[in-house]
Amino acid sequence: MKKCNRVGVDVSAKDLVVAIEASGRREAPIVLANDAGGHRKLAKLATKRGASARVVLESTGTYGLDLALALHRAKRVEVMVANPRAIAHFARASLQRSKTDRLDAGTILEFARRMPFEPWSPPAPQILELRALSRRIEAMSKTVVQEKNRLHANDQSEELSEFVKHDIREFVDHLEGRIARLRKQALLVIEQSEDLATAFAHITSIKGIAEASGIAILAELAVLPADMTTRQWVAHAGLDPRQFQSGTSVHKPARISKTGNAHIRRALFMPALVATQWEPHIKAFYDPLLERGKTKMQANVAVMRKLLHAIHGMLEHDQDFVGEKFFAMRG
């Protein structure tokens, strides 16, 4: 009978903690980088000595997606992306009280040994294509802003020659043309998929979310597992509040964790600002936060978080934005 190794992987933004059972013997957990090189090394370790492998990781969204895709492409490797709630319930049933990355990897490995293996299927190619296009647009847009800022700063100081200024302007025009082509292609990908087109229409029904931001938001949300809850979306985006307390005297104000997907946060930031000006129900939610002493940034983050809640509900129930459901205005 052909040997089949079992592997449990705890995934974080930078690292992979890997627990392997080969030939019925558990090996000490190892830590690999969560990048393309680390993914290749994991596939090689999992299939050493010609064995096949079944790898289980949690459905942690963007941090685990690239790993799951790499393992899905690897020879002799099957991947299961388990629901985090299933892993958590399994850990409680196993009476695990402590929590570290190494223990989590061991728990996932034990889950792989005892629970039915359900092979993972990657997101549809058009979803991955949309995410790639969106992230390329984001990267190029960042360069455009940098170049415009450089031009503005040097317009004031006259440090640059007219030739260099002209070159910057030409470069910006070139980049903006490429961004327009990328955005056109992203819209084409969306139009060719009924599910993506429907979701895009729902998302852009919110005042403040136009074509550009709608592409960016949809591209990041479409790759997430369908069974993720609203709370998991918020945590995935890094918009969940993080408390800081030390002893009895240090109580810092709660801040968002920022440990999640920064692409979603950036995509929601400007739409939230615009929506507080043009959507009455969102403005009615935003203004009292300022009156209670919240800073503009804190209030805008609260709107971003609530918009994510709203989008989750809209996509789940297949409906456009309804202001009254976002925030009921008092007469």
pLDDT class for 4, splitting at 50, 70, 90?
very high
Amino acid in the structure at residue 8:
G
The stretch 102-111 carries a mean pLDDT of 85
Please state, rounded to an integer, the average pLDDT across all residues of the chain.
88
Dihedral pair phi/psi, residue 101, rounded to 5°:
-60, -40
pLDDT value at 159 more than 50? yes
- Listed by start position, the domains of the chain span 4-114, 125-192, 220-245+255-326
Amino acid 246: pLDDT: 39
Q: What is the mean pLDDT of residues 158-177?
A: 88
Structure tokens given for 224: 């997430």
Bigger pLDDT: 90 vs 207: 207
Q: Rg of the Cα trace of the chain?
A: 23
Which of these CATH numbers, 3.90.1150.10, 3.50.50.60, 3.40.50.1100, 3.30.420.40, describes 4-114?
3.30.420.40
- Residue 194, CA distances (Å) to 7, 36, 127, 198, 224 in order: 37, 32, 12, 6, 18
CA distance 204 to 211: 7
In this predicted model, what pLDDT tens digit does every residue of 22-71 receive, in sequence order?
988 899 899 999 999 999 999 999 998 889 999 999 865 567 888 999 99
Q: 133: which residues sit within 8 A by CB, 6+ positions away?
A: 182, 185, 186, 189, 215, 219
- pLDDT tens per residue, range 61-97: 567 888 999 999 999 999 998 877 778 778 877 766 5
What are the structure tokens assigned to 52, written together? 């096949």
pLDDT tens-digit readout, 231-272: 888 888 888 765 444 344 444 455 555 556 889 999 999 999
Residue predicted with more confidence, 114 or 89: 114
- Which range, of 169-178, 225-234, 265-274, averages the lowest pLDDT? 225-234
Res 249: pLDDT: 42
Confirm if 318 and 198 have CB atoms less than 8 A apart. Answer: yes
